[in-house]
């Protein structure tokens, strides 16, 4: 494993939070959680670099100002970099359901994968098994609702696309991790896209905002709306990721909102009329 530069003092060791951790590789890049009693969100990333060792070094180097709580390697090994009680620096500028300090709210898991810029290979089954086990273990310690187990792209749709459309969310959902509905299959027909205006666009934006996406409800299919639709597709309607709100996207989004866990929130509006 590559070590950080020798002119930086090593971060102090700590006891791992999970019995699944094979190695503690302390990162100095963390701080106090702000304004929260504890984490209420679980955020999944991919490392997005050609070399996993390089990614781990990046997450442990003070000058980079980034980190995550865990890294899951391709072979299923799990390393912990930051204690769960601390605020790791993994989300960046992000938004979800009115919250903007996503780092304070979340536990971040980096999944070793070079990502879209470097071929974006499939995630090995043994790695997904480890991610699932780690998520389940974290959920035994923290009351994180299923609809707050999210992709980095969900909370930062204008900037990020990880862990991407190849990540098998259904594998986690089978074991009680995350919120998912069956995808409505894509089909030809009417759709909404960038530049359109009107009440159906406003209804689409309202549903996205109801679920948590940081999209303005203006009735105009703007760049932010397109990015939010694309992020939604990467997570929940992965058969086609294009930022276009077709019938399949709208039906899947409506089903997701209608089945959202908990009863304290109002029911979503009816899906937009796309006829």
User: What is the distance between the alpha carbons of residues 167 and 45, in angstroms, rounded to a whole number?
Assistant: 10
Question: 142, 195 in Cβ contact below 8 A?
Answer: no
As annotated, the active-site residues are 110
| Cβ neighbours of 16 (radius 10 Å) | 17
Q: What is the DSSP letter of 165?
A: T
Report the SS3 class of residue 167. coil
User: What is the distance between the alpha carbons of residues 155 and 44, in angstroms, rounded to a whole number?
Assistant: 11
Q: What Cα–Cα distance (Å) separates residue 246 from each residue in 46, 62, 189, 191, 275? A: 28, 44, 7, 4, 11
């Amino acid at each position: 494993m590559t070590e950080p530069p020798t002119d930086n003092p090593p971060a102090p060791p700590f006891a791992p939070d999970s019995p699944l951790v094979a190695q503690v590789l302390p990162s100095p890049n963390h701080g106090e959680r702000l304004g929260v009693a504890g984490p209420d969100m679980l955020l999944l990333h991919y490392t997005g670099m050609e070399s996993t060792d390089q990614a781990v070094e990046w997450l442990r180097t003070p000058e980079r100002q980034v980190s995550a709580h865990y890294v899951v390697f391709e072979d299923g090994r799990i390393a912990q970099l930051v204690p769960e009680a601390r605020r790791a620096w993994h989300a960046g500028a992000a938004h979800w359901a009115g919250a903007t300090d996503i780092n304070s709210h979340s536990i971040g898991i980096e999944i070793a994968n070079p990502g879209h810029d470097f071929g974006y290979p499939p995630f090995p089954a043994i790695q997904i098994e480890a991610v699932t086990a780690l998520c389940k273990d974290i959920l035994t310690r923290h009351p994180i609702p299923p609809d707050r187990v999210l992709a980095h792209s969900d909370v930062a749709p204008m900037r990020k696309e990880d862990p991407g459309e190849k990540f098998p969310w259904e594998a986690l959902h089978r074991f009680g991790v995350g919120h998912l509905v069956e995808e409505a299959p894509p089909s030809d027909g009417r759709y909404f896209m960038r530049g359109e205006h009107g009440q159906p666009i406003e209804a689409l934006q309202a549903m996205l905002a109801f679920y948590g996406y940081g999209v303005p409800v203006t009735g105009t299919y703007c760049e932010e709306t397109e990015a939010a639709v694309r992020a939604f597709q990467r997570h929940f309607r992965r058969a086609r990721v294009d930022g276009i709100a077709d019938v399949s996207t709208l039906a899947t989004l409506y089903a997701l909102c209608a089945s959202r866990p908990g009863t304290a929130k109002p029911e979503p509006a009816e899906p937009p009329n796309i006829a």
